[in-house]
Chains A and B, each alone.
Chain A
Amino acid sequence: MIIANNINKQFGKLKALDNVSVTCNKGECIALIGPNGSGKTTFIKCILGMAVSDSGFITFNGKNILHNWQYRADIGYMPQIGRYPDNMTIGQVFNMMKDIRNKKNEQLDEELIQKFGLSSLLDKRMRTLSGGTRQKVSASLSFLFNPDVLILDEPTAGLDPVSSEILKAKIIAEKAKGKLILITSHVLSELDDLVTQVIYMQEGKLIFHKNISALRSDTGEEKLSKAIASFMLKNKR
């Protein structure tokens, strides 16, 4: 579904992405893992067209995303730090997004809005919200339009345990519907029951892209966190 081919991206002297090639297919749930500053968010931004890669190309459903914008209708994106116009209320943000995106009157998925209890906060201004509530708004927005692809950048950071369980259940349910889900997270333990594949990045390079069962058998560890840790240790030596 998404094919990235030899993506390079440089910010000044820093090489944020170094020849990254990835293929993602429908029905997969992929974890993007790597230390801080390894280029995960930059890679996601390249897929979304928010950052333009210096060389290489990305195709979405076989179409090059350069100079293309319609493909973003099939993506739900939850940013790492959700930033919204300060003066708007939650309800206005939702209405605006519905207004902008919903052209065919497709079915909206308001499950998360209900479950997070956002419906009672609709007239709160965005600037008064706590980080966690902002995350809830971002999460609800990314699932709202039933997109085929979900890109979640640190989805559970800042969420309380109850909300993060709600979100995880939602992710699993969407995965079962055959959607492609890309998650970055530093909390590896919560990825265990979610992901089917793991992409590991370091210093802008793609170190490996493996099936989770292959990773488990390679490292002999059952838990993802331990498997990654043992891989990192092995790499260091």
Chain B
Amino acid sequence: MKKIIKYVVIDILRNKIVVAYTLFLLLISFSIFNLEDNSAKGLLSLLNIILIIVPLVSILFSAIYVYNSAEFLELLVSQPLKRRTIWLSIFSGLAFSLALSFFIGVGIPVMLYEFTATGLIMLLVGLLLSVIFVAIAMLATVKTRDKAKGIGIAILLWLYFSVLFDGMVLFILFQFADYPLEKIMIGISAFNPIDLSRILVLLKMDVSALMGYTGAIFKDFFGTMMGFSIALIVMSSWVFFPAWLSLRKFSRKDL
């Protein structure tokens, strides 16, 4: 397994997109921290950018990479290797490379300028998001044979998680404004890893005071060690379930 991960990582590094992504993250992080005089405020701006870019790059790059490795997969499957090993190696290679670029691109500036609990939680959440969207991309690609369709699905999934889901939640909130939905909102947030990440980081910042009654309920839940751990478990299952489903599908796929 290590050998295949090695080849996947070398291959990803050779195609320079991941390097460009790292440099891009570095550039953004440093410029934001230098523009804002208050680095806590800088962290907030950075969070908003990260929550858009990290899922997008992770899901698109992974989807395209898996499709482009069709030959590589075919070659490996005819060799004495378990399919499970092959698939997990590709997953680990992608997750490792993207998480590493995030760690270099955002981790270093955050550690330099804002080495606080909030900054570290944002780092953790960003790393988890990178891996989550690799897993989702792998599930989307294993389900569709057609490259254009698969990449289209990946883009739609990203759109859903970063835009449509929030729209739907707002719509529900306004429609049922007369009912107490605050507690239900905690449950709903579990269905979107991006929202969950945003909540986790925002609650550590002072701005959470501005979020009104829902914010107070969230703080009550996610602010405790218990709530935080549950959120992390939910995030991890966002890695585990798509990866597991895609693995099951890949083990029976005709190549």
Point out residues on A near B: beta carbons under 8 Å.
11, 45, 48-52, 69-73, 75, 77, 79, 83-88, 96-97, 99-101
Contacts and interface: CB of A to CB of B under 8 A. Distances in A.
Contact of A79 (B15, B78, B83): B78
Given A69-B80, A100-B76, 14 more contacts: A11-B254, A45-B254, A45-B255, A48-B78, A49-B77, A50-B74, A52-B254, A72-B79, A79-B78, A83-B70, A86-B71, A87-B14, A100-B3, A100-B4
Contacts of A70: 80
Contacts of B82: 69
A141 B170 CA distance: 58
Contacts of A75: 78
A75 B80 CA distance: 9
Contacts of A49: 77
B177 interface: no
A76 to B, nearest CB: 10
Contact of B71 (A45, A73, A84): A84
B127 to A, nearest CB: 27
B255 A87 contact: no
A75 B70 CA distance: 21
B116 interface: no
13 contacts: A48-B78, A69-B82, A71-B80, A72-B78, A72-B81, A73-B80, A83-B70, A85-B11, A85-B72, A86-B71, A97-B79, A100-B76, A101-B79
Per CB-CB distance, the 4 closest pairs between chain A and chain B, nearest first, are: A83-B71, A73-B80, A72-B80, A51-B254
B220 to A, nearest CB: 49
Interface string B37-64: 0000000000000000000000000000
B7 interface: yes
A75 B7 CA distance: 23
Q: How large is the interface on B (under 10, 10 to 19, 20 to 34, 35 or more residues)?
A: 20 to 34
Contacts of B255: 45, 50-51
A51 B254 CA distance: 4
A77 B78 contact: yes
Nearest to B255: A50
Nearest to A50: B255
A73 B11 CA distance: 25
A100 B79 CA distance: 8
A166 to B, nearest CB: 23
A45 B15 CA distance: 31
B86 to A, nearest CB: 10
Nearest to A97: B79
A83 B77 CA distance: 12
B69 interface: yes
A101 B80 contact: yes
A96 B7 contact: yes
Given A50-B255, A52-B252, A52-B254, A100 B81 contact: yes
Nearest to A46: B254
B37 to A, nearest CB: 45
A89 B221 CA distance: 55
Contacts of B112: none
Contacts of A51: 254-255
B210 interface: no
Nearest to B4: A100
Contacts of B83: 69
A100 B80 CA distance: 8
A145 to B, nearest CB: 9
Given A69-B83, A83-B71, A84-B71, A50 B77 contact: yes
A11 B82 CA distance: 24
Interface string B116-160: 000000000000000000000000000000000000000000000
A173 B184 CA distance: 73
A31 B24 CA distance: 56
Interface in B1-15: 3-4, 7, 11, 14-15
Given A87-B14, A96-B7, A50 B79 contact: no
Contacts of B225: none
Contact of B15 (A72, A87, A99, A101): A87
B54 to A, nearest CB: 25
Nearest to A42: B254
